[in-house]
Each structure stands twice: as structure tokens, then as C-alpha cells.
């Protein structure tokens, strides 16, 4: 049997491909990021040699082909009777593939979504980092759309969480078509409340999440710029006040200059008598 795996990435080499077994996890009340609201669905659980190697969940998974309406795959992927087949998933030390086989969905035949991930050691950071390298949509048996994932990474001992992992611009476009000629330009895919962990899964639970949300959001950035401008104006005003006070103090202490008068100027003019 030929093992399918992720695309070859820079300075990362294939680990051994192995055949795995998959089982659905029992329902639980596990909370994400200390949230008080229960998850709508249990995460997908991929098991290799009796140990969980991939955990994946999303509040919503939707795809759209060309100008057709969005197809919601959430219930098919995470519902109690979800028909999704994950037996094509692969786990190894350095590579992982999550395969979501949906079968025929509306006009799409043999729909499969694959997430290719890597575990790479970076000397500059002194630790391993997990990255989502690409997302593949296989459809109509022979056709494929490939998205490169950008900025989807976390320390290998963490899970990764993001409110939206999507190909849509309004969600920052973390999924980008691999090339202009790729059929991915005809597709849109969005994971809402996305969380995944493909390495170092302990106790069948997500590790602490590294969130994609950045501190410098547009609102915060505009606030910082406005504050900086106000500080500059205030500094200039204080400088002018100090400068004016210095001028006033100089005027107060300025010595009066007396010019001596000549004797001729002090004596009355004799000719005037």
C-alpha cells in the first residue's frame, strides 16, 4: 500500500508512514481555553498504536465551489452520527495528515479534505514547532484544489486555535491558493473556531492553545498611533511653556545698562547764557 503524506517542506524529511486505526471519542464536557460554554461537538480523535496522535475540532466547517452556495460540513464531520471517514489519516514523528473523507456531498463526488502538518525543530527557537503546511480538497475523484497555509503554527507542545482559518479575505486569508493556475481559486473554505493538535497529545485532551489573535489589532494600532500623536503635541506644548518661562526669567534678571555722561553734557552751554 502506498502511504499518502504531506507535501515535502524545507529542511523536513519524511518519517515512517504507518497504518493507523481511528475511533470516535466519547462525548465530554471538556472546555476550550477555560471557556464556560460547552463545546457543541466532541473533537475528532485519531489514534495510532492505542494513543491519540491528532485532535481536531471546529464549530463550523463550510466550503463553496465557484458561485454555488456554501455547503456546511459541520454535522457531517462532528455530529453524533457523523459519516466522515478519517481512516486515511497518517501519524509519524515529523509529519501528520488529517484526512476527512465525506463521500458524495450534493454535486461533489468523493469529497475529501486533507490537512498536512509538520513538526520541525528550529535551532533559533531551541524547540520544535508545529505548522499546518497545506489544505487539500479532493473532489470528483480526480480533481484537487490546494491551499498553502500561512501563519498557522504553534510550539509543538501546544495546540493551535484561531477564530477563523479561511481562504476569505475578510478573515485575513490564512489559506492561499498554491498557484494562480490551481483550481483552489474556484473554492472557498472556512473553519470557524478552529483548533488542532497533531503532536504530543496527552491524556486525549488539547494542550494549552497558541491563539492566532495578535495584540496589534487595527483598533489597538489606531489607538496607539493616536496616543503617540497626543504625546508629541503635549511634549511640544511643555517645551514651549518652559521656553517662555526662561525668557521671562531672563527679562527679570537682565541688568540695567547706564551710559556715563560727558562733562560737557553736564555743564550748560555758555553760549546759551
Domain boundaries, the chain: 21-213, 215-253
Rounded to an integer, the average pLDDT of 39-58 is 87
Rounded to an integer, the average pLDDT of 251-272 is 58
Rounded to an integer, the average pLDDT of 142-167 is 92
Rounded to an integer, the average pLDDT of 22-27 is 36
| Band (267; pLDDT cuts 50, 70, 90) | low
Distance CA 196, CA 209 (A): 9
Higher pLDDT, residue 206 or 241: 206
**What global pTM score does this model have?**
0.65
Q: In the 8-state DSSP scheme, what is residue 202?
A: B
Please, which residues have CB within 8 angstroms of residue 100's CB and are 6 or more apart in sequence?
44, 77, 84, 85, 86, 112, 113, 114, 115
Q: Under a CB-based contact definition with an 8 Å cutoff, are residues 100 and 86 in contact?
A: yes
Task: Measure Cα distances from 235 to 25, 226, 227, 232, 239 in Å.
Answer: 61, 14, 12, 5, 6
- Name the pairing type of β-strands 51-57 and 60-65: unpaired
Return the minimum-mean-pLDDT range out of 11-25, 36-50, 113-127.
Answer: 11-25
Class of domain 21-213: mainly beta
Q: Minimal CA–CA distance to 77: which of 55, 61, 97?
A: 61
Return the minimum-mean-pLDDT range out of 24-38, 96-110, 160-174.
Answer: 24-38
In sign, the C-alpha dihedral spanning 15, 22, 65, 104 is positive
Residue corresponding to grid cell 492566532: 212
Q: Under a CB-based contact definition with an 8 Å cutoff, are residues 165 and 172 in contact?
A: no
Q: Minimal CA–CA distance to 85: which of 1, 40, 21?
A: 21
Rounded to an integer, the average pLDDT of 86-99 is 93
Percent of the chain with pLDDT over 70: 73
Higher pLDDT, residue 11 or 146: 146
Predicted pLDDT of residue 26: 35
Could you give the residue ranges of the DSSP H alpha helices within 110-196? Answer: none
CA 190, 196, 200: angle at the middle one, nearest 5? 165
Percent of the chain with pLDDT over 90: 42
pLDDT at 2 over 70: no
Predicted pLDDT of residue 20: 40
Amino acid at each position: 500500500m502506498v502511504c499518502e503524506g504531506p507535501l515535502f517542506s524545507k529542511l523536513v524529511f519524511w518519517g515512517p508512514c504507518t497504518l493507523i486505526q481511528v475511533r470516535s471519542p466519547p462525548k465530554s464536557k471538556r472546555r476550550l481555553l477555560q471557556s464556560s460554554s460547552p463545546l457543541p461537538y466532541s473533537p475528532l480523535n485519531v489514534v495510532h498504536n492505542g494513543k491519540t496522535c491528532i485532535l481536531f475540532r471546529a464549530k463550523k466547517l463550510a466550503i463553496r465551489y465557484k458561485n454555488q452556495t456554501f455547503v456546511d460540513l459541520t454535522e457531517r464531520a462532528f455530529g453524533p452520527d457523523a459519516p466522515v471517514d478519517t481512516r486515511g489519516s497518517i501519524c509519524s514523528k515529523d509529519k501528520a495528515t488529517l484526512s476527512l473523507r465525506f463521500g458524495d456531498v450534493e454535486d461533489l463526488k468523493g469529497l475529501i479534505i486533507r490537512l498536512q502538518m509538520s513538526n520541525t525543530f528550529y535551532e533559533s527557537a531551541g524547540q520544535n514547532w508545529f505548522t499546518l503546511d497545506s489544505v487539500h480538497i479532493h473532489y470528483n475523484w480526480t480533481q484537487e484544489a490546494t491551499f498553502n497555509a500561512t501563519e498557522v503554527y504553534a510550539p509543538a507542545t501546544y495546540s493551535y486555535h484561531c477564530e477563523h482559518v479561511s481562504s476569505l479575505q475578510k478573515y485575513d486569508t490564512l489559506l492561499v491558493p498554491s498557484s494562480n493556475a490551481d483550481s483552489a481559486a474556484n473554492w472557498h473554505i472556512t473553519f470557524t473556531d478552529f483548533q488542532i493538535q497533531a503532536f504530543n497529545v496527552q491524556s486525549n485532551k488539547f494542550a494549552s492553545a497558541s491563539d492566532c489573535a495578535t495584540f496589534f489589532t487595527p483598533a489597538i494600532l489606531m489607538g496607539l498611533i493616536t496616543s503617540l500623536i497626543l504625546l508629541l503635541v503635549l511634549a511640544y506644548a511643555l517645551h514651549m511653556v518652559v521656553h517662555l518661562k526662561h525668557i521671562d526669567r531672563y527679562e527679570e534678571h537682565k541688568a540695567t545698562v547706564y551710559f556715563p555722561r560727558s562733562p560737557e553734557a553736564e555743564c550748560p552751554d555758555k553760549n546759551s547764557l
